[in-house]
C-alpha cells in the first residue's frame, strides 16, 4: 500500500469520504454473533486531513468507527465521520469547517490539519470544538476551540532530545531539520526548552532542503561535530534517506526519529540494514492495553500497513470522543463544547496519560495554552519489530530530568 511522507513540522473539500461509506479501502470489522450494529440517528463528526498524512489518520478513524458501530455505537447511535481532505489549501480547510457546521456535526475529531489558523476561527464562531486532533501550528496551541490529547511535533522532537540525553546519556546532540520557515524555529526551541535545562546545547544544526536528492553534504556537515546522538526531524522519505546516509558514512551512534507514520513494514522497506541503535519517539504508549486493541482492530480490518502512531492517535481520538459522548445525557454540539473544558482526566486507555482539559498548559512558559499533554513515548527497532523501549518508554521533554 502506498505511503505518504509525513511532515514533522508544520508545512500543510473537493472529495468527501465517509468513514461509514463503501469505498474500496473502507474495510470494516465483520459483525459476529456477539456484535450488535448501531441503528439509531447518526452522531455526525468531521475530520480535516492534510494530504501528507490523510491515509494514516483515515485508517485509524475508519477502524475505530467501524468497530464502535458494529458493537452498538454510542448509546445505540452510529458514529458518522466525514473525512474532509484540505488538499493542502487553507481555503479548502476553512470550507471543510463551514460545510461541517452546516451539516450539523457535533465536533471535529482526530484532525491533522496544517490550516488551523483558517478553520479554527470558523469553529470558534459556531461553537464547535476540535477534539483529539494533531496540533500542528500555533493556532492549534492557542485557540480555545481546540482540545488535543497529544503534544504535536513540538513535543515529539523534544522527546527525541530527552530520550537521547536523559535515557541514552548523550552529551553531544545534533539535529537535522527541514529547511523551511517553520523548521528554522526548531533549533532555538530545542536549545532553550529542552537542552538548556539539562545544561547542554546543540553541537550541530543542519538544515535539509525538502527537494534534495543527495543528502551526503548535510550528513557530512552534521557528523563533523562528532555527535553521540542524531535527532532527525524531517519528512518520512527524507528522514529515511538521511538515516541511511548517516549509517553509510560509518556513524554507529544513537539516531532518533519521530514515529507517527513508521510502521514495521515501512521500517523494513525504507530502513533495512540501518536500524541498529535506532529509536522512534511519538505519543502512543505501545505497552498500553488500548494500543494492543488498536493493533488487533487494525489487523482485523485489513489495515496492517497503517499500524503506526498517526493511525493510533486518530483511533484514540475517536474512541475518547465515544467514551465522553456515552456519558452525556444529550449528545449535541452545544453540550459537548460546554463539557470539554470541565474534564480533568480524559481516559485514553493508557495510550497517553489521562489528559486534563480544564486548565491551560504550562509548558514553555505557558506560551501554548492548548498544549495539555507533553508526554512522549520511545520505541526501539529490534529484529525488524517496533517495540516499547524500557517498558513504557515514557519521556517528559520539557521537564529537567529528576536526579540530574
Which stretches within 4-86 are classed as H helix? 54-70
Nearest to 135 by CA among 234, 9, 44: 9
Q: What is the reported pLDDT for 98?
A: 98
What lies within 8 Å, CB to CB, of 399 at 6+ separation is 197
Q: What is the reported pLDDT for 401?
A: 56
Phi then psi dihedrals of residue 335, to 5 deg:
-70, -40
Tell me the three cell numbers of residue 202: 546543540
Q: What is the reported pLDDT for 90?
A: 96
Residue 330 CB neighbours (<10 A): 7
Q: What is the reported pLDDT for 338?
A: 98
What lies within 8 Å, CB to CB, of 58 at 6+ separation is 17, 19, 47, 49, 83, 314
Q: What is the reported pLDDT for 39?
A: 85
Paired residues of 377 in beta bridges:
282, 394
pLDDT in tens, the chain (404 residues): 443 333 333 333 222 223 333 333 333 333 233 457 888 899 999 999 999 899 999 999 999 999 999 999 999 999 999 999 999 999 999 999 999 999 999 999 999 999 999 999 999 999 999 999 999 888 999 999 999 999 988 899 999 999 999 999 999 999 999 998 778 888 999 999 999 999 999 999 999 998 999 999 999 999 999 999 999 999 888 999 999 999 999 999 999 999 888 889 899 999 999 999 999 999 999 989 999 999 999 999 999 999 999 999 999 999 999 999 999 999 999 999 999 999 999 999 999 999 999 999 998 888 899 999 999 999 999 888 888 887 667 888 987 554 43
Phi then psi dihedrals of residue 225, to 5 deg:
-80, 0
Amino acid at each position: 500500500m502506498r505511503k505518504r511522507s509525513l511532515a514533522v513540522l508544520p508545512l500543510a473539500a473537493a472529495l468527501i469520504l465517509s468513514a461509514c461509506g463503501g469505498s474500496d479501502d473502507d474495510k470494516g470489522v465483520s459483525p459476529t454473533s456477539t456484535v450488535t450494529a448501531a441503528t439509531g440517528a447518526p452522531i455526525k463528526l468531521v475530520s480535516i486531513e492534510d494530504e501528507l498524512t490523510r491515509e494514516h489518520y483515515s485508517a485509524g478513524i475508519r477502524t475505530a468507527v467501524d468497530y464502535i458501530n458494529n458493537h452498538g455505537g454510542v448509546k445505540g447511535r452510529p458514529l458518522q465521520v466525514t473525512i474532509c481532505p484540505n488538499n493542502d489549501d487553507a481555503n479548502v480547510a476553512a470550507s471543510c469547517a463551514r460545510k461541517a457546521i452546516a451539516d450539523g456535526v457535533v465536533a471535529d475529531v482526530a484532525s491533522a490539519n496544517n490550516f488551523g489558523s483558517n478553520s479554527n476561527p470558523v469553529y470558534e464562531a459556531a461553537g464547535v470544538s476540535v477534539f483529539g486532533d494533531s496540533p500542528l501550528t500555533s493556532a492549534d496551541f492557542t485557540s480555545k476551540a481546540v482540545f488535543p490529547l497529544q503534544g504535536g511535533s513540538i513535543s515529539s522532537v523534544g522527546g527525541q532530545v530527552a530520550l537521547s540525553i536523559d535515557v541514552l546519556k548523550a552529551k553531544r546532540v545534533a539535529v537535522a531539520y527541514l529547511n523551511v520557515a517553520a523548521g528554522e524555529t526548531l533549533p532555538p526551541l530545542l536549545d532553550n526548552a529542552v537542552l538548556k535545562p539539562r545544561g547542554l546545547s546543540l553541537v550541530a544544526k543542519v538544515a535539509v532542503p525538502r527537494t534534495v536528492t543527495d543528502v551526503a553534504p548535510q550528513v557530512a556537515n552534521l557528523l563533523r561535530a562528532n555527535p553521540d546522538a542524531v535527532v532527525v526531524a524531517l519528512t518520512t522519505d527524507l528522514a529515511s534517506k538521511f538515516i541511511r546516509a548517516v549509517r553509510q558514512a560509518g556513524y554507529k551512534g544513537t539516531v532518533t526519529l519521530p514515529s507517527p507514520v513508521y510502521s514495521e513494514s515501512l521500517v523494513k522497506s525504507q530502513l533495512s540494514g540501518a536500524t541498529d541503535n535506532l529509536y522512534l519517539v511519538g505519543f502512543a504508549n505501545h505497552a498500553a492495553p488500548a494500543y494492543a486493541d488498536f493493533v488487533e482492530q487494525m489487523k482485523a480490518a485489513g489495515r496492517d500497513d497503517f499500524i503506526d502512531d498517526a493511525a493510533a492517535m486518530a483511533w484514540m481520538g475517536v474512541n475518547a470522543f465515544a467514551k465522553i459522548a456515552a456519558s452525556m445525557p444529550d449528545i449535541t454540539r452545544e453540550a459537548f463544547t460546554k463539557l470539554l473544558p470541565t474534564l480533568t482526566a480524559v481516559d485514553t486507555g493508557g495510550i497517553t496519560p489521562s489528559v486534563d482539559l480544564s486548565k491551560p498548559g504550562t509548558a514553555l512558559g505557558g506560551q501554548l495554552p492548548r498544549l495539555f499533554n507533553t508526554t512522549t513515548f520511545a520505541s526501539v527497532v529490534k529484529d525488524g519489530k517496533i517495540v516499547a523501549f524500557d517498558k513504557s518508554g515514557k519521556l517528559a521533554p520539557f521537564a529537567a530530568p529528576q536526579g540530574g
